[in-house]
Structure 1
Amino acid sequence: MLLGFTLGTLSAIGGFIDIGDLVADALVGARFGLRLAWVTGFAVIGIMCYAEMSARIALKTRRPAFDLARSRLGPGYALGGLIGSFLVTALLVMAELSGIALALQLASGVHYLLWVPIAAVVVFIVIWRLPFEATERIYGLLGLAMLVFVVAVWHLQPDWSRLWASATTVAPTSGESWPAYLFFAVTLVGAQMTPYEMFFFSSGAVESRWRPKDLVEMRVNVIIGFPLGGLLAVAIQAVAFLVFFDPGIRVEHISQTVLPVALALGRVGLAIALVGVFAATFGATLETLFATGYDLAQYFGWAYGEVQPPARATRFTTTVAALLLLSTALALTTLNPITVTIYAVVFSSVLLPFAFLPVLLVGNDKRVMGELANGRLSNTVGTITLLISIVVSVAAVPLLILTKAGAS
């Protein structure tokens, strides 16, 4: 029964904790301590609401959320969202591939660019050969190694009252500006509420052949998976705060994300952290690739999915392979993966309301959903999340320009 909960774990580890979160949380912790932990709390509640809603839609209709969004709001609206999602996801796949390569570089000392094509080949083999359930279980369970960040917080022997004071203060630290503080709030929202998490979870419910009788299992996945991701995110912020804040060190490389674990737990802790980072970035690469392939296939009505042999879903498989090839080429251009990640998650935050609106509308349609239509709690949380996402979407690009991507 425990293995049935790994879809939520994979969504949390590979979606909530991906290269975007590994970078953003360490950056935020080093500069602001836990003063943006409230954003993570909001992101957990919001993505739980919409992941549960989109999966419930899939349970009732046996159609993923993006497919119903297209039929509800029309092909034009869906096409705009599809194009935006595809462009952002291409950047995210490039960043995730670079994250895999950077983890391997830290483990081996071999430059990450040499690992990028190897990582891409391994990703393609996994997509081609491994069934969906095996994929979610392997990387969902390996990703639990990220819990070493939680252990590291205890071993660093923090002043708990100082951590609490930081977490309950909603304001920039001394020397930081409000625009920078708000920019990193937007960055965290984009990193932790990426639309592909929701569409992957919904399509994964279809792949796993969940039905209304599986409603409890689905909700347990949501209740366990996403709060776990939130806990790990706050732990990364906390260890970065404890190690980097007082010396005034800014995080500029993923090696700095795992350095606090090495300081707290030594080589063993570092090795476990690298396994977790590898699993998170590898799982996120799979999620982003699958989510994009799902969205394209569902929009154009193609056969799709990991439960089918590749020969029966050739356009889905070709799309995923083409995106992987494009992202590999981008990674090999020597673009700074940290910079690309920041831009990708900011643009991801711009897309949030366009992804949330159709799911909320379909979830409320009793003609489609029947007894599984949204209740008062889902509607309240979903509406508040949508309204806040609209504010984030409008503010994201101006804050990006004003703060020079957080540099000032």
Structure 2
Amino acid sequence: MKRIFAVALGILTAIGGFLDIGDLVTNAVVGSRFGMGLAWVVPVGVVGICLYAQMAGRVAAVSGRATFEIIRERLGPRVGAANLSASFFINLMTVTAEIGGVALALQLATDVGPLLWVPVAAFAVWVVIWRVKFSIMENVTGLLGLCLIVFAVAVFALQPHWSTLAHQALAPVIPQSESAATYWYFAIALFGAAMTPYEVFFFSSGAREEHWTTKDLSTSRLNVLIGFPLGGILSLAIAACATLVLLPAQIEVTSLSEITMPVVMAGGKLALAFVIIGVVAATFGAALETTLSSGYTLAQFFGWAWGKFRRPAEAARFHTVMLVTVLACAAVLFTGIDPILVTEYSVVFSAIALPLTYLPILIVANDPEYMGRHVNGRAVNVAGSIYLVIILVASLAAIPLMIVTGAGQ
């Protein structure tokens, strides 16, 4: 049983990273517009985040310090500040979207307007971060998020022509109604969503919250190899549901109700209940991750005391940053901004920030001063270098494609 719960950090990180409110919608949008033609992006992203999350977890377990602390020390304050600025801005966007996503999911369950749920969601995030132990937080949120497996069940219940889905995924074709620029814009968005920077910062800091050492390297690998691929599988299931139901009917995805439509068709109200629980858990888990990541990055950069294992009085600035973050993001939502739109933009901006995040991790994971005999092997370095090229290309292409396509319109 202890080993089962050991993967909870990876499950929470994967669900929060792959299946936050923006990714739920983006995968459904992609399925409703391109079918399974962009399915190949998901495994590319999964392999990339597994590769670098494993490095970040190993750095934390071996060195006894979170990745962001070492980046600032190893590469200097300028590189650390650039990394901090980009990641903190994206975190703020994502916290805003996730709190709004929880409100949208609760609206789906109660038919009460989302603005009335925003203060409830924000207060719940703050209370959990302030009072609930890290282990309880990750176990409960991560396991409840597994209710989203109902999307995978729905794919089977809809009885698709598997050969057609496989052909779309393995031999992708750009539909005549879509441009090549739009196709590649959504490819970068999906890739950025899979490798969002806060995932590795949260995973690394979470390892320190749980006091991992070199004895826990196998647990780190288990978290990575189960959690992130699971998130990828559920992403593909959401896209497949949209492909089977929304694409033939030419239904445009603009809200959570369209996302749940294939599941309701396959399993009725019981399936809808599972979806709502899963979406609330996933978006709430992502809100916790990104709020914590905001505190982690600032505290680690400036050398403050940090960690949920410390009482607020012992890490006052760390907890203050998170409280201010939650309040600020909730205030933004009261302007009436669409949380789904915020997250869709945030994943593209994440792609821009990827080189600032992953190059330092690769450098630190190869530094014997911190890693000793646990530095990267040759195969990991080759794979990491290949992914850095992909990351750089995605980063350079993101803004031009956003402008040309009108953010995928």
Bin of the TM-score, shorter chain as denominator length = over 0.9
Deviations 1:74-129 (A, max 9, x none): 10111112112111111111100111000000000001111001110111111111
Residue of structure 1 in register with 2:55 after alignment: 53
1:291 aligns with 2:305: no
Partner AA of 1:15 in structure 2: G
Contact 2:23 2:344 in 1 (8 A): no
Residue of structure 2 in register with 1:174 after alignment: 176
Deviations 1:351-383 (A, max 9, x none): 001100000001111232112110122212211
Contact 2:36 2:172 in 1 (8 A): no
In the alignment, the residues of structure 2 paired with residue 156 and residue 406 of structure 1 have an alpha-carbon distance, to the nearest angstrom, of 28
Partner AA of 1:44 in structure 2: V
Residue of structure 2 in register with 1:138 after alignment: 140
SS of equivalent residue, structure 2 residue 365: helix
In the alignment, the residues of structure 2 paired with residue 284 and residue 55 of structure 1 have an alpha-carbon distance, to the nearest angstrom, of 19
Partner of residue 392 from structure 2, selected from 390, 400, 407: 390
Partner AA of 1:12 in structure 2: A
**Taking every aligned residue pair, what percent have the same amino acid on both sides?**
50
In the alignment, the residues of structure 2 paired with residue 15 and residue 321 of structure 1 have an alpha-carbon distance, to the nearest angstrom, of 22
Residues 370-379 or 234-243, more deviating: 370-379
Residue of structure 2 in register with 1:30 after alignment: 32
Give the TM-score normalised by the residue count of structure 2.
0.98
Contact 2:84 2:297 in 1 (8 A): yes
In the alignment, the residues of structure 2 paired with residue 23 and residue 376 of structure 1 have an alpha-carbon distance, to the nearest angstrom, of 38
Contact 2:101 2:340 in 1 (8 A): no
SS of equivalent residue, structure 2 residue 313: helix
In the alignment, the residues of structure 1 paired with residue 326 and residue 43 of structure 2 have an alpha-carbon distance, to the nearest angstrom, of 32
Contact 2:245 2:262 in 1 (8 A): yes
Tell me, which stretches of 5 or more residues in structure 2 are unaligned? Answer: none
Q: After the TM superposition, which segments of 4 or more aligned residues of structure 1 sit over 3 Å from their partners?
A: none
SS of equivalent residue, structure 1 residue 37: coil
Residue of structure 2 in register with 1:317 after alignment: 319
Residue of structure 1 in register with 2:361 after alignment: 359
Contact 1:310 1:317 in 2 (8 A): yes
Partner AA of 1:300 in structure 2: F
Contact 1:31 1:245 in 2 (8 A): yes
Contact 1:17 1:192 in 2 (8 A): no
What displacement does 1:20 show? 2.2
Tell me, which stretches of 5 or more residues in structure 1 are unaligned? Answer: none
Contact 1:64 1:206 in 2 (8 A): yes
Contact 2:22 2:343 in 1 (8 A): yes
Contact 1:171 1:178 in 2 (8 A): no
Residue of structure 1 in register with 2:99 after alignment: 97
Deviations 1:157-183 (A, max 9, x none): 101011001101233122211000000
Residue of structure 2 in register with 1:163 after alignment: 165
The residue correspondences of 1:6-405 to structure 2 (distance < 5 A) are: 6-405=8-407
What displacement does 1:385 show? 1.2
Cα RMSD, aligned residues only: 0.9
In the alignment, the residues of structure 1 paired with residue 91 and residue 49 of structure 2 have an alpha-carbon distance, to the nearest angstrom, of 18
What displacement does 1:19 show? 1.4
What displacement does 1:278 show? 0.4
Partner AA of 1:26 in structure 2: A
In the alignment, the residues of structure 1 paired with residue 185 and residue 230 of structure 2 have an alpha-carbon distance, to the nearest angstrom, of 25
In the alignment, the residues of structure 2 paired with residue 74 and residue 16 of structure 1 have an alpha-carbon distance, to the nearest angstrom, of 31
Residues 299-308 or 73-82, more deviating: 73-82
In the alignment, the residues of structure 2 paired with residue 158 and residue 297 of structure 1 have an alpha-carbon distance, to the nearest angstrom, of 49
Residues 365-374 or 52-61, more deviating: 365-374
Residues 94-103 or 18-27, more deviating: 18-27
Aligned length: 407
Residues 206-215 or 367-376, more deviating: 367-376
